[in-house]
Structure 1
């Protein structure tokens, strides 16, 4: 298969010729020959690379957590600016785009609404529209496939940098498809060209593409992490550990007060599809409960086609809230620059899910409560899908 980056240079190079190019990239911006996008653009003679932009976690992928900002610099080898889109601004300023004719976006997403790269893309599109420039999005696989959608759809009033438009937690789209959706259905209206991949199918998982997995962020080390992330990211909205500071973030979840066997038994009784909960202990080296022994579970996905990450995470949170009502706590603000709402509600895109967990509503009822919004989203989504 060919990535959008490969197809751009192979079939659409004329779109770049003679122009000043800015690129939005990170460590995972490799072509299928494992060459980095910066190398590809900087070595060209028929156009000029004039600016590099990096998202949350930095151009080099070194910053760990939300609201850890980084500053840009001037690249000593290329002699061009590196601009931070996770610092003083998250949208390119007029000054940043002053020497750019075409902005090329090439970030690897993980298929979850709250992963911020798609919102960096949306803000870049808005900036390009404002400045009268052109935007090219070179497409990449959704690593967890492009078939399934799950979870609550973002509700009005809960917009943030982890959700600007009404899409579900697991959206089942590629960045290129999302760019078209954002531009047309949600009214950004920039001059947009999406360069599709060749040879990718919706049913493919990342390990079926023969592409190298490069962690797109520090706590996304493996495809297994990305598989559980659409649900387990909700644990960030509590004072439970989501496993940051371990070698298995978002797969190891727990807290010092949790009895692993008791929680695992509760979860197994739910008979959730495609998953096994192994009782375990872990000790984070940083982040929540650094240096403390935590009890909890490891989420082992046995059948990823049947696994429901969001429902699984809700089952875990319900179990902890039910078993440990005195110790369970929601994380206080701020979260991703929102200071007036609970982080859990920002992540969920609604306050209804938190209320359902507090009330210990049945899992089936919670899942059913997502259905109407998901059914409205599906035909909208379908109009922008580019792959079979």
Structure 2
């Protein structure tokens, strides 16, 4: 943290500073994992337990489990953690049930999102709020930074009828919000239960951060990064996932999974790095650099094979458009690998998952049909102007 930056207080720090007044004498459920910590690194669950101000009747955990070690897509089991019954919201159910909710006075949320729509932590928050709206239970969000910052917005919104657990709401792929801001949007736009107006909104309180600015990189916050999942060990992994993550669904080349820097390597054993590099330079992508290199995955795709490709590095640039950059990068490969997006060679479940993650059939269709760079940019920006206006109503920070 640079000397000119004031120390950031997270939502949980403000909760502690206010002597836990909003949850005093209440029975609460805490939706959290190991990323839910104070600015000094203390686990939120332990801080609340130590305070003795309220009773935690259970923990709620998202995809990857409490310790963020469960692989993506793998079911998470219920558990006992810190002596507390821990209920998985990524197992047999994706939302807390009525019986459990009716035994508490409030649900408290403290979890680190990564600013990417398909990352399911915001979907778990959405589903939890939905269940709380149905059962009349208040929700308290302890806010924390978006690691991609609060200014970058990129990627088409989820089309009507294309919503799923990896595209829970009609927001852009890189949404540019904190979890508190998204919660306000989910609630006030009545997205939780649109068919049931009486249960489409919950009682919501967002405990805001202090001294966080939208323009801040995560490094500028001075906060420690705690891995949010097995393949998001660093903030640069977040940035890389924002660029390359959607293509992991197709399994066409390695995107750094199986290396020590997931989502920062991309390539294959027969990758034509040198000539592809010339094409990438012509794209004039901002905030991202593709550095020619070699790498060797030690598990996953091309396990044990030396790959040619690129190492991704990033600079602080307000024009960084990671989702669009990733799509344009892959489109530049088609010239050299014309069958890369051959529908007949892609598995149907991979196609379905890619379309879910992108919230539209249009992105893959454009790549399959070798659409122009300008056409791809238009597809990536579809619905963005309306989302930008909508989002403006819910911004809690300058």
TM bucket normalised to smaller:
over 0.9
The question of 1:199 aligning with 2:211 is answered yes
Match of 2:262 among 227, 249, 253: 249
**Cα contact 2:258–2:300 (8 A) shared by 1:** yes
Match of 1:100 among 101, 104, 112: 104
Count of residue correspondences:
380
The question of 1:29 aligning with 2:36 is answered yes
RMSD: 1.9
- Structure 2 CA distance for aligned equivalents of residues 205 and 303 of structure 1: 7
Give 5+ residue unaligned stretches, structure 1.
Answer: 336-340
- Structure 2 CA distance for aligned equivalents of residues 53 and 115 of structure 1: 17
Residue 303 of structure 1: CA displacement?
Answer: 4.4
**Cα contact 1:235–1:241 (8 A) shared by 2:** no
TM-score normalized by the length of structure 2: 0.90
- Structure 1 CA distance for aligned equivalents of residues 132 and 348 of structure 2: 31
Instruction: Name 1:338's counterpart in structure 2.
Output: none
The CA deviation string for residues 250-299 of structure 1, in whole angstroms up to 9 with x for no partner, is 11112333222232222123222233222222222223332333332222
**3-state secondary structure, aligned to 2:334:** helix
**3-state secondary structure, aligned to 1:96:** helix
CA change 1:12–1:384 in 2 (3 A) is farther
**Cα contact 1:162–1:346 (8 A) shared by 2:** yes
**Cα contact 2:89–2:124 (8 A) shared by 1:** yes
- 1:218-367 mapped onto 2 (5 Å cutoff): 218-239=230-251, 240-328=253-341, 332=347, 334=349, 342-367=352-377
- Structure 2 CA distance for aligned equivalents of residues 173 and 314 of structure 1: 22
The question of 1:47 aligning with 2:54 is answered yes
- 1:12-23 mapped onto 2 (5 Å cutoff): 13-23=20-30
Residue 351 of structure 1: CA displacement?
Answer: 1.0
CA change 1:329–1:115 in 2 (3 A) is farther
Match of 2:79 among 62, 65, 73: 73
CA change 1:187–1:269 in 2 (3 A) is closer
Residue 370 of structure 1: CA displacement?
Answer: 4.3
- Structure 1 CA distance for aligned equivalents of residues 301 and 206 of structure 2: 40
The CA deviation string for residues 85-113 of structure 1, in whole angstroms up to 9 with x for no partner, is 11111111224334322111111011111
The question of 1:374 aligning with 2:391 is answered no
- Structure 1 CA distance for aligned equivalents of residues 298 and 221 of structure 2: 33
**Cα contact 2:291–2:311 (8 A) shared by 1:** yes
